[in-house]
Chain A
Amino acid sequence: MNQDKKVVIVPCSGIGKTYGTVSREAAYEVIEDLRPEQAQLVALSLLVLGDDDARLAVAQNPAIAIDGCKLACASKMVTESGGTVAQEYAVLDVYRRYRQFKPRGIAELNEGGLQLAHALAEEIAASVDELLADEGGQDA
Chain B
Amino acid sequence: MPEFLEYNLDKFVFRVATDRHYNANGVWAKEENGRVSVGLSDFLQQRSGDIAFADVLEPGTPVGFGEEIATIETIKVDISLPSPVAGTVVETNPDMEMEPEVINQDPYGGGWVAIIEASDWPADQAQLLAPQAYYEHMKAEAEEEAENL
Binding site for B on A (CB under 8 A): 17-19, 69-70, 92, 95-96, 99, 102
Contacts and interface: CB of A to CB of B under 8 A. Distances in A.
A96 B50 contact: no
Interface string B55-86: 00000000000000000010110000000000
Q: Which 10 A-B pairs have the closest CB atoms?
A: A19-B75, A92-B50, A95-B52, A92-B52, A70-B50, A96-B52, A69-B50, A92-B75, A99-B53, A18-B75
Contacts of B75: 17-19, 69, 92
Nearest to B99: A96
A54 to B, nearest CB: 27
Given A19-B75, A70-B50, 13 more contacts: A17-B75, A18-B75, A18-B76, A69-B50, A69-B75, A92-B50, A92-B52, A92-B75, A95-B52, A96-B52, A96-B53, A99-B53, A102-B73
Contacts of A18: 75-76
Interface of B: 50, 52-53, 73, 75-76
Nearest to A91: B75
> Which of B50, B53, B73, B75: most chain A Cβ within 10 A?
B75
Nearest to B76: A18
Contacts of B52: 92, 95-96
Nearest to B98: A96
A99 B53 CA distance: 9
15 contacts: A17-B75, A18-B75, A18-B76, A19-B75, A69-B50, A69-B75, A70-B50, A92-B50, A92-B52, A92-B75, A95-B52, A96-B52, A96-B53, A99-B53, A102-B73
A92 B75 CA distance: 8
A19 B74 CA distance: 11
Contacts of A70: 50
B142 to A, nearest CB: 20
A19 B52 CA distance: 12
Contacts of B53: 96, 99
A32 B78 CA distance: 33
